[in-house]
Amino acid sequence: MSCVTIVYQDEMGGLQVRSKDGRRIEMNPCEGTLVVNVGDMLEAWSNGRLRSSEHRVVLKKPAYRFSLAFFRCFEDTKVVLASEEVVGEGNERVYRPFVCSDYLKFRETNEEGKFEKVGFTVKDFAGIDDISLPLQSPSSLSSLSQACKEWGFFLISDHGVSKELYNKVRSLSEYLFSLPVETKTKLGPLSSVKTYTPHCIASAFFESLRVSGPDFAASAQSSADVLFHHHNSEFSETLQEYGSKMTELSKKIVKIVLMTLGDDFENKFNDSEFNNCHGYLRINNYSPPQILEEEEEEVEGLGKHTDMSCVTIVYQDEMGGLQVRSKDGRWIEMNPCEGTLVVNVGDMLEAWSNGRLRSSEHRVVLKKPANRFSLAFFWCFEDEKVVLAPEAVVREGNERVYRPFVCSDYLKFRETNEEGKFEKVGFTVKDFAGINGR
C-alpha cells in the first residue's frame, strides 16, 4: 500500500514475485543488494504505467528467515490522482482519484482486503473499467465482479458520450434552474406534468427535472412548453440525444454485469429478463447555503439512499460530493474524474441477483458554497415485472434471500410508506422483500 518499498532479506531468501502470466518468480538474495518494489499508490498515481506486483514469502528450510521492509507512503490526506502529463495525451485514465486513507482503511477492515486475503488491490478499489473493451478476459471480469459485489459502484471510460454533449445539457439546465420559483413549480408535484421536484421535498438544497424515455424529446418538450414562452426544440433534441446514448449504454452495462454472474449469462438472461427495461433521466441541481458555518464543513445535499433501478449512470461535475457507504459503515468519496461516468447497481438488480450484486447506500454532500450539477440516468424493469432470481443465478445449494415481488409494488411502497420515503430512505429492498431479514 506504499509508493515504494525497500526490502533487505537474509540468505534464506523466499521472496517470490508473481508475473503477469501468473508464474511465481524467485527473488534470490544477492549480497550487498536491496530489493525495491513499486507499491499500490505509485501504480495508481502513474495511471498504471508502473506496476505494483503481487508477491509472497515462502519458507523452504526449517530455519528462521529475517527481513527488513521500509515503506515510503503518501500522507493519509493525499488525493491520489495522476497528472495530465503522466496520463499522456490521448490516453484514458485507468484509476479514479481517491483519498489515500480511504484505501488504507478499506484494506485494513474489508474482508477481501485483509492482509491475509490480499487478492484485493488498488485496481479493485479505484480502477476504471473501459467498456469499449469486450471485458471478456478473466482479470477484467474479476475486477468488475469484485466492484459490483463489494461496492455496487464502478467507473467507466470510453462510454461514447462527448464532453460537448454534457456541456450542452448543462448550459440548458442552468438556464432552466435559474427561472423563477413560480415558473418552475408549474411543473411541480401539484401540476399535471409533475416533472419538477422543488427544494424541500428531498432536501432543502436539491431540485431536479425528470425526463422520461423512450421518447425523451416528447417528455422534455412537455416541460419546455410550460417553462418557455417560445418553442425550444434545442432543449428536447439535446435531451433525446443524451437519453438515447444512455439507453444504449445501459443495455451494454447490463450485459457486461451479467457476464460476472456466470458463463454465457448475458445470452441466457439478457433478452428474457431485461428486454423490456426502460429509462428516465434526472437533471439535478444542488444549491448549498452561501455561507457554510465554521463548525459545519459540509451539508447533506441529498440524504443516504439506494436506487430503485437495475443500474444507474451518473455524471457529476467538478464539485464532486458523491459518497458511497462501505459495508463497515464508512462514507467513501467518489471523486469526479474527467471523462468517466459513475455506474451503480440498483435495488432491482440486487434482488434479481439474489444478493450477489450490491445496491449500496450513497449520498451527496456539499462542501463549498457553489452549485453542483449532475445527471442521473436510471435503467429500470417494467412496472409489471415479477422480480425473481433464476435458479442458475441462485446456484445449487444456496438459499433464496429475496422473495418474488412485482416491481411496481416496491416502487409504490418506497413512494408512500413512511419508512420508504425518499427523504427517509433507510428502508431498502432488503426490508421489503428479504427472506428472514437477510
CATH of the domain at 265: 2.60.120.330
Q: Is residue 120 part of a domain?
A: no
Residues 283 and 148 in one domain: yes
> What pLDDT is stored for residue 101 in this prediction?
84
Strand 98-99 and strand 4-9: pairing? unpaired
> What pLDDT is stored for residue 123 in this prediction?
64
Region for 260 from its dihedrals, namely left if φ exceeds 0, alpha if ψ lies in -120 to 50, beta otherwise: alpha
Residues 233 and 371 in one domain: yes
Distance CA 437, CA 44 (A): 39
Residues 80 and 179 in one domain: no
Residues 103 and 144 in one domain: no
Going across the sheet that includes 55-57, the strands are: 24-26, 15-18, 55-57
Residues 243 and 321 in one domain: yes
Residues 185 and 96 in one domain: no
Residues 102 and 162 in one domain: no
> What pLDDT is stored for residue 424 in this prediction?
44
Domain count, the chain: 2
Q: In terms of Cα–Cα distance, which of 287, 322, 313, 308 is closest to 376?
A: 313
Q: What is the CA radius of gyration of the chain?
A: 24
Residues 147 and 100 in one domain: no
> What pLDDT is stored for residue 421 in this prediction?
46
Residues 176 and 89 in one domain: no
Q: In terms of Cα–Cα distance, which of 399, 402, 388, 398 is closest to 431?
A: 402
> What pLDDT is stored for residue 293 in this prediction?
58
Q: Is residue 298 part of a domain?
A: yes
Q: In terms of Cα–Cα distance, which of 263, 268, 266, 269 is closest to 252?
A: 266
- Which residues does the chain have with pLDDT short of 70? 109-140, 291-296, 417-427, 437-438
Evaluate whether 134 touches 321 at the Cβ level (below 8 Å). Answer: no
> What pLDDT is stored for residue 131 in this prediction?
55
> What pLDDT is stored for residue 57 in this prediction?
92
Query: Where does 12-141 show beta strands of DSSP type E?
Result: 15-18, 24-26, 35-38, 55-57, 67-72, 79-80, 98-99, 128-130
Q: Is the C-alpha dihedral spanning 159, 160, 162, 168 positive or negative?
A: negative
Q: How far is CA 140 from CA 40, 103, 123, 130, in A?
A: 18, 20, 10, 9
Q: Is residue 130 part of a domain?
A: no
66: domain range?
A: 4-109
